[in-house]
Amino acid sequence: MIRVAITGPESTGKSILTRQLADHFNASRVPEYARDYISNLDRPYEEKDLLAIAKGQIEQENKLIANQPPLLFVDTELTVIKIWSEFKYGMCNPWIEREWQNQAYDLYLLMNIDLPWQDDPQREHPYARKELFDLYVKALKTKNAPFEVISGQGKERLNNALRVISEM
């Protein structure tokens, strides 16, 4: 099984690219768990919710892994939750940190911040995109994770991701 994580700051096209890649390869995909979780809250999310989101994301992925798909695309894995927690709350739950350290993908596609910001009630930091992007680069390098930055608008972005995957 080849597992590809699509990661990066908010409003960089992670969910769209994940769907496009899964459709292109007729492959399985794990959607972003946080979006549904936060949508179903009757209050603003809190730091403690990030642990539930992390566990929900992993649970969704494990369900698909159990089916042994040859190719799996994962929208928003633990790198996102780790960085978000550290950025927003100044710390990361030790369980999330430990799971992040142990979680490995064959490839991480790090979405560049070259797409225009799209307002969304769940997005919070339109002016911190460069700072957040740099945190992703640092985290993936620290982990020695195999990653490529994906840039471009529209079809170009998809084609750049397809090129990187074809070179695996």
- Residues 67-100 pLDDT 10s: 999 999 999 999 999 999 999 999 999 999 999 9
Angle at 100 between CA 95 and CA 102, to 5 degrees: 100
Model pTM?
A: 0.94
At the topology level of CATH, where does 2-166 sit?
Rossmann fold (3.40.50)
Tokens 């070179």 belong to which residue?
A: 167
Q: What is the pLDDT of residue 120?
A: 66
Q: What is the pLDDT of residue 9?
A: 96
The CA radius of gyration of the chain, in Å to the nearest whole number, is 15
Which segments of the chain have a pLDDT < 50?
A: none
Tokens 């307002």 belong to which residue?
A: 119
Cα gap 1→168, rounded to integer Å: 13
Q: What is the pLDDT of residue 123?
A: 60
Q: What is the pLDDT of residue 166?
A: 94
User: What are the domain boundaries of the chain?
Assistant: 2-166
